Amino acid sequence: MRVTLLKTALTWAAFAASAPLLIGTAHAQVARYELDPDHTTVAFLVDHIGYAKVLGLFRSARGSYRFDEATATLSEVRIEVETASVFSNQRKRDDHLKGPDFLNSGEFPKMVFTATSAKRTGDKTFDIGGQLELLGKSQPLTLQATWNKSAESPLGGPLGKPYVMGVSARGSFKRSAYGMNYAVANGWVGDDIPLIIEFEAVRK
């Protein structure tokens, strides 16, 4: 009986001693990624009187998230967009977009998307359910994301070659949900805004 109890005690002692190492190994795969601003695109489409859609983008965006490649677990997503960086290839229209009828960049300089987790929908596809903050209001937004590739970049520098993850994401929202009602009622400017997000993120 004493031998059995001694073996049990030794087994639990060994497990207790190794538990911190096991926990450390489990979390070692979780890495922080930062969006590469030189390879990040946040763009949108807006319907114009039903004739065609205007393509616009934001020239300044940054963000980060945590990702466990072994389990494909995503967390702590945050993407910040400078609203004054909007560009649609027409200066007068861009000035209008920055004004109070649309983005009101002077009062609300940032548009922010945040998410705490994601639902895996396929081998490399995810639904990222989060919140989009715009014009001082926060509304639910789901991005459909595809994990394109993760690998050491062939382009390196003096500090070596970074490990890069590439993602394509799509989503849409109604601008009227944020109080952006200009030309919605007469149908001149579309209410539904499709989003196009493409980025490369560097593992830190």
Quick one: pLDDT at residue 24? 42
Domain locations along the chain: 30-203
Quick one: pLDDT at residue 160? 83
Taking 80 as the threshold, does the pLDDT of residue 20 lie above it? Answer: no
Contact 165, 138 (CB under 8 A): no
**Into which CATH architecture does domain 30-203 fall?**
Beta Barrel (2.40)
Quick one: pLDDT at residue 177? 98
Residues paired with 173 in a beta bridge: 193
Tokens for 113, please give them: 């998307």
With bands split at pLDDT 50, 70 and 90, how would you rate the model's confidence at 28?
A: low
Taking 70 as the threshold, does the pLDDT of residue 111 lie above it? Answer: yes
Q: Give this prediction's pTM.
A: 0.85
- What is the pLDDT averaged over residues 153-181? 93
Taking 90 as the threshold, does the pLDDT of residue 2 lie above it? Answer: no
Give strand ranges (E) for the chain: 30-48, 52-58, 61-68, 73-82, 86-87, 110-115, 119-120, 125-134, 137-152, 163-174, 192-203
Residue 26 DSSP code: H
Quick one: pLDDT at residue 158? 72
